[in-house]
Structure formats: structure tokens, C-alpha cells
């Protein structure tokens, strides 16, 4: 009986290491796949819109804006997460930690605004079809994209800036896979009330503000659609909104849940936030951008041309 535990312990330890190693390998492969797909498809969308003058319209400016944001947002966290899993290197320089925090939250904010801009485009197209070209011009859309970008990049600088007032005199072990705001300020050994107040207020503003605008936009769209006399017109109008609604659900539902439960109750595992941040940039071009008729047609044309050149080169 005295030898029972010493004899079994090595096998239990090895099995445990194998399980952990397999889990890390699967997670690494998943993150790498998500990142490659995100870069590939969003870059394709950006290239197609930029290289085709006929797509230089307000709608596709909003689509390109979302694609650029997706690339930067995913790049701000996924490579760092892959580094942790692949090289077991979880050390981040102090200043670089705040840079990552700023980029992530700035472009996360821009993501929510970009989805609201797409809702605005649908609102104008369905509710004001005869005045669409005069209201939603390329110049006005450029101004909207520019203003939201300046607002997001400016407003996130304040909460990240006040983090430098904190003193981290005890633990510097952040309970997350990147320099997340709440897990970092909770490590401070001095008063973090200001950081908590600013973080909670901006979370409401950044998430609830665009989400409320999207909700009200679709209320107006539904009112307009049900006033249409033709059933075929109603179906066509609503069909143009399905993909955007999927993007809104994929982005807002997990993040609102995570920030509400995690920020106030601290019950969310960091895995959940990392997945919620990685999935939308990957899903956006597949569900929305590349399913747009104009982009899909040009994407297939470009791919067929490249394949033709490649085959002729090989032969």
C-alpha cells in the first residue's frame, strides 16, 4: 500500500502533460488558422475594393473600413497569443503592454462603430431609396469614417493614459492572454477607482451606443419594409440585412456578455474574451463582404485569372 502512489504518479503526470500539450496544440492550430483566414480574406476584400474604381462608393468604403479594422484588431492580439502557446513566452515589456492595450481597445471600438456605419448604409438605402445618392455620398461617408476613427483613437487614449498613474508593486501576473484593461488595473497596489469608473463608463458608451443605433436603425427599416405593398419587395429588402445582422450578433452578444459578467463579477475565463475578439474579424469577410455580389464576382474573376497564369507558367 505504501508504494501505490509512487508507482502511479509518473503515469498520471505524463498523462496530464499530454492532455495539456494536446490542448495547447489544438488551440495554437485554431488561432493560426483564424489569423491566416482573417488576413487572407480581409486583404482580398481591401485589394478588390481599392483596385476597382466602380467599387469606390459609400457602401464599399464602409466595407473596406471594416476589413482594415479587422486586420489590425486581430493582429493586435493573435500573434501575441500564438507566441505564448508556441514558445511559452508570456513576458511583455511594460510600455508594450499599454501599446497593445490601446490598439486592441481602439480598434475594438472602431469595430463597433464600423458595424453601426453599415447599419446606417442599410437605413439610407431602404428608408430613403430616392434620396440615397444625395444623402449617402462618398464624401459624407468619408467624413463619417474619419470622425469615428478620430473619436475612437482619441477617447481610448484617456483610459490607457491614466493606467500609468498606477503602481504595480506586488504581482505583475496578468490573468489574461493579452494586456487586458481590467485584469491589469486590478494588479495595482494603489487606488484604482478612477480606472474602474472610466473603464465601466466607456464600456457602456462603446458597446451600448453603437448597438442602440443599430437597433433603432432596424426598427426604422422594419417599419419601412412593412409599409411596402409588394411581398417580393419586402423579402428583397430584408434579405440585404441578414448578413449584417449576423455580424452584429457575432460581435455584440459575446462582448456585451463578457464585459458585463467579467468586468463586474469577474467570472469570465480569459479564453472567452480571446475567442470573442478573434472570431468576428474572421467571420466578417466570409459572411458579409465576400457574399456581396460585386465583390464576389471580382474575387472569382481575379482568382480564375491567377490560376490561369499559374497553370500556363507550370505547363
> Tens of pLDDT along 243-255?
899 999 999 988 8
Confidence of residue 70 (pLDDT cuts 50, 70, 90): very high
Task: Note the pLDDT of residue 89.
Answer: 63
- Please give the share of the chain, as a percent, with pLDDT higher than 70: 83
* Cβ contact 63:52 at 8 Å: no
The pLDDT value recorded for residue 228 is: 86
**pLDDT score at 291:** 76
User: CA 34 to CA 18: how far, in whole Å?
Assistant: 24
**229-246: average pLDDT:** 86
Residue 215, pLDDT score: 95
Q: Which of 66-75, 105-114, 253-262 has the lowest mean pLDDT?
A: 253-262
Q: Which of 3-12, 151-160, 233-242 has the lowest mean pLDDT?
A: 3-12
For the purposes of burial, counting CB atoms within 10 Å of the CB of 127, is it exposed (0-12), middle (13-18) or buried (19 or more)? middle
* Cβ contacts of 269 within 8 Å, gap of 6 or more: none
Expressed in percent and rounded to 5, the helix, strand and coil fractions of the chain are 85, 0, 15
Which pLDDT does position 13 carry in this prediction?
A: 39
pTM: 0.86
Closest to 73 (Cα-Cα) out of 97, 45, 109: 109
Arithmetic mean of pLDDT, 85-91: 70
Q: Is pLDDT above 80 for 161?
A: yes
pLDDT at position 105 over 60: yes
How is residue 81 written as a grid cell? Answer: 497569443
Yes or no: say if 98 and 165 are a contact pair by the CB < 8 Å rule.
no
Give the separation between CA 16 and CA 133, rounded to whole angstroms.
Answer: 62
Selection from 37-41, 159-163, 274-278, 311-315 with the highest mean pLDDT: 37-41
Mean pLDDT for the chain overall: 82
Rounded average pLDDT over 193-208: 86
Number of H helices, E strands in the chain: 12, 0
How far is C-alpha 187 from the geometric centre of its chain's CA atoms? 26
Give the whole-angstrom CA distance, residue 161 versus residue 157. Answer: 6
Residue 2 has pLDDT above 50, yes or no: no
| Dihedrals phi, psi of 268, to nearest 5 degrees | -95, 130
C-alpha to C-alpha distance for 40 and 21, rounded to whole angstroms: 28
pLDDT of 109 over the 90 cut: yes
Residues 6+ away with beta carbon under 8 Å from 16: none
- Strands (E) across the chain are located at none
pLDDT of 261 over the 80 cut: no
CA end-to-end span of the chain = 72
Burial (CB < 10 A; 0-12, 13-18, 19+), residue 181, is buried
Determine the Cα–Cα distance for residues 217 and 221; give it in Å rounded to an integer: 6
Between 35 and 230, the higher pLDDT residue: 35
Burial class (CB within 10 angstroms; exposed 0-12, middle 13-18, buried 19+) of 12: exposed
Per-residue confidence (pLDDT) for residue 267, from 0 to 100? 55
In order of 33, 47, 135, the CA distances from 40 in angstroms are: 10, 11, 33
pLDDT at 147: 96
Position with higher pLDDT, 233 vs 248:
248
Under DSSP, the state recorded for 307 is H
pLDDT greater at residue 136 or residue 261: 136
Give CA–CA dist 312/42, Å, rounded.
28
216 vs 292, more confident:
216
Q: What is the CATH number of domain 11-163+171-312?
A: 1.20.1070.10
Domain limits of the chain? 11-163+171-312
Question: pLDDT (tens digit, 9 = 90+) per residue, 262-277?
Answer: 655 655 554 555 667 7
Residue 37 banded pLDDT, cuts 50, 70, 90: very high
Q: Is the pLDDT of residue 174 over 90?
A: no
- Which is nearest to 49 in space by CA: 315, 310, 304, 297? 297
Amino acid at each position: 500500500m505504501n508504494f501505490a502512489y509512487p508507482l502511479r504518479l509518473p503515469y498520471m503526470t505524463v498523462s496530464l502533460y499530454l492532455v495539456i500539450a494536446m490542448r495547447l496544440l489544438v488551440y495554437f492550430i485554431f488561432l493560426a488558422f483564424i489569423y491566416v483566414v482573417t488576413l487572407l480574406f480581409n486583404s482580398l476584400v481591401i485589394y478588390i475594393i481599392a483596385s476597382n474604381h466602380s467599387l469606390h462608393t459609400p457602401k464599399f468604403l464602409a466595407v473596406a473600413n471594416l476589413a482594415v479594422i479587422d486586420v489590425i484588431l486581430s493582429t493586435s492580439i493573435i500573434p501575441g497569443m500564438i507566441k505564448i502557446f508556441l514558445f511559452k513566452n508570456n513576458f511583455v515589456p511594460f510600455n508594450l503592454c499599454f501599446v497593445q492595450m490601446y490598439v486592441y481597445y481602439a480598434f475594438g471600438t472602431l469595430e463597433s462603430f464600423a458595424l453601426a456605419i453599415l447599419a446606417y448604409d442599410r437605413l439610407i438605402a431602404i428608408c430613403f431609396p430616392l434620396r440615397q445618392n444625395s444623402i449617402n455620398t462618398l464624401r459624407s461617408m468619408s467624413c463619417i469614417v474619419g470622425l469615428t476613427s478620430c473619436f475612437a483613437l482619441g477617447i481610448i487614449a484617456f483610459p490607457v493614459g491614466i493606467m500609468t498613474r498606477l503602481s504595480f508593486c506586488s504581482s505583475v501576473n496578468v490573468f489574461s492572454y493579452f494586456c487586458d484593461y481590467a485584469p491589469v488595473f486590478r494588479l495595482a497596489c494603489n487606488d484604482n477607482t478612477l480606472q474602474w469608473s472610466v473603464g465601466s463608463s466607456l464600456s457602456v458608451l462603446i458597446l451600448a451606443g453603437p448597438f442602440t443605433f443599430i437597433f433603432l436603425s432596424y426598427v426604422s427599416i422594419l417599419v419601412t419594409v412593412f409599409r411596402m405593398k409588394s411581398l417580393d419587395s419586402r423579402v428583397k429588402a430584408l434579405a440585404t440585412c441578414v448578413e449584417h445582422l449576423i455580424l452584429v450578433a457575432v460581435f455584440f452578444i459575446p462582448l456585451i456578455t463578457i464585459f458585463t459578467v467579467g468586468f463586474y463579477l469577474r467570472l469570465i475565463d480569459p479564453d472567452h474574451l480571446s475567442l470573442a475578439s478573434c472570431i468576428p474579424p474572421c467571420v466578417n469577410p466570409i459572411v458579409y463582404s465576400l457574399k456581396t455580389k460585386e465583390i464576389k464576382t471580382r474575387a472569382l474573376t481575379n482568382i480564375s485569372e491567377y490560376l490561369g497564369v499559374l497553370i500556363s507558367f507550370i505547363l
